[in-house]
Amino acid sequence: MELGGRAVEGSETGWGQPAEPAPRWRALLDRARLGSRAAEPAGPDRSGHAAQAESLPRRADGNGYAARVPAVGSHVPGSGLPPAEVSYGAEARTYGADPRDAGHRGAYRAERGLPADPAYGADPGYRAPLPPAPEPRYSEPEAAPAPSRYALLDNGYRHAPPAANGYRTQPAHPAEPGYRPGNDYRPEPAYRPEPAYQPAVGRGYARLEWRPQSARSGSERAANVLRGELGGPRVLAFANPKGGVHKTTATVLAAATVGSVRGRGVLAWDDNELRGTLGLRAGSARHARTIRHLISDLAHIEIKDGPQLLEQLDDYLRHASDGSYDVLAGEESPRFAQRLDQFTVRRVLELLRRTHDVICVDTGNNVESPNWRTVMQAADQLVVTTVPREDAAFSADWMLDLLHEVGMGELADNAVTLISCPTPGHSELRADLERHFATRTRAVTVVPYDPILESGSSIEYHQLQPATREAWLSAAAVMLEPFAR
């Protein structure tokens, strides 16, 4: 380049000073520029020197570069190349490859990346630094999934209504796995929301749910009936004109059942005018006194009162083995029947009512006798005893008709039919009798067969089977239920 008629050489450091090695990025730019000029046809240089295409520098064997690219305008000794002259302006080009140089062997093509030298090897003692360790990530343990809301509803739980401000408490943060509280630490009780209020159904009345009574509740109800107040002494008359229908057995077991619940104040009276057997099957034979002895001393006993009356009457009574009820035995002599007139029977009943709460009377088989009719007129509850046989049922049905004829129809209608099973098993006749007497009496009860009663000997209530005692408890409750308070 000529400046003021004097040729000067441009360099990186200034004018006319030795050139310093050019940086690497400048060498790449020079390579790109000179490579594009080498493809042009050779022409006369302005300085008189022929322009020669400079070949691209190549790496020598070994590590690093063998030489550096000379700076523009500088002369490298021994290279055989004249110093290149720099011309600014005309030679200014873009640093990309010329489209006309396509296909030329020496043309430069821009590459995406500089390939590594195959001969280059890393220092054996060099170790690349390890990548930084990733920062630990602390994840909170997932809380256990809440139970299904439908499962909570099935257990009777109802969520409390939300607060007015919509605030909801956050769940407590779980403790770390390695944390252990001290000995004096006491966790607070978990919060349990109160169940939602449910108003009563109807006009201020709570809804009542009916449930069938179990066997135990039925037994308790029957016992409560027998244990309660009866509104005064009650006379239960066990009647059927036919013999062998379990009148005596029913009288004894009814007195034993009521006495086992009440504990005292229960008496069984054998009012049979012809050789009754109640005294033989119930009570301890501590003496041989019967109704006949009581009637002989009746005038002296009636004037007694209070403890003296009980003491005087006890001399004529027998007691059950467990002491639950008393027994007034009948006379075995047939000639004594003439002395049981209507007036005498009434006096005996009035005396027994003064000392006992429940009086079970075993009536005879003669419906025309004065003692039979007197007991029927004084009875508070009639118990019609029968067995699953046609003749026994016919006799009981005929007796009910007789009571209607003599003006005691109300007593017959409010009667209780007691069907005793003398043999095990179920018969079709028993079902027919239940349906028939249900239309004629207030209630029908059935007591099962018990082998302990088959021998006809002394009756011990505690020796009965549990099912038999349960049936008699229910039957006795039916008899006294109209009077229970």
Q: pLDDT tens digit string along 21-73?
A: 556 667 777 776 676 554 444 444 444 444 444 454 555 454 444 445 455 45
Report pLDDT for 1. Answer: 47
Helix or strand run (H / E) with residue 292: helix 291-296
The answer to which of 172-176, 245-249, 250-254 has the lowest mean pLDDT is: 172-176
Strands (E), 387-423: 416-420
CB 360 within 8 A of CB 267: yes
Under a CB-based contact definition with an 8 Å cutoff, are residues 29 and 92 in contact? Answer: no
Neighbouring-strand partners of residue 7: 2
CB-based contacts of 438: which residues, under 8 Å, 6+ apart?
417, 444
Q: What's the pLDDT band for 157 if we cut at 50, 70, 90?
A: very low
Amino acid identity of 356?
Answer: H
Mean pLDDT, the chain, as a whole number?
74
Most distant CA pair in the chain, distance? 188
Partners of residue 266 on adjacent β-strands: 358
Q: 313-326 burial, b for 16+ CB within 10 Å, e for fewer?
A: beebbbebeeebbb
Give the Cα separation of 349 and 342 in Å (integer). Answer: 11
For helices 247-262 and 466-480, the axis angle rounded to 10 degrees is: 90
- Two tokens at 34? 């000179």
Tell me the pTM.
0.57
pLDDT of res. 282: 78
| 163-182 average pLDDT score | 54
Q: In sequence order, what are the residues at sequence separation of 6 or more whose Cβ sits closer than 8 angstroms to the Cβ of residue 82?
A: 49, 52, 75
Which stretch, 189-203, 406-420, 451-465, has highest mean pLDDT? 406-420
Edge-first strand listing for the sheet containing 443-447: 318-319, 326-328, 266-271, 358-363, 234-239, 381-386, 416-420, 443-447
Q: Is the pLDDT of residue 104 over 50?
A: no
Assess whether pLDDT exceeds 50 at residue 205: no
Q: Is the pLDDT of residue 167 over 70?
A: no
Cβ neighbors of 371 (< 8 A, separation 6 or more) are 271, 273, 340, 341, 342, 345, 363, 364
Decide if pLDDT at 238 tops 60: yes
Regarding predicted confidence, which is higher, 54 or 296? 296
Percentage above 70 pLDDT, the chain:
55
Count CA atoms closer than 13 A to 220's CA, side-chain side: 5
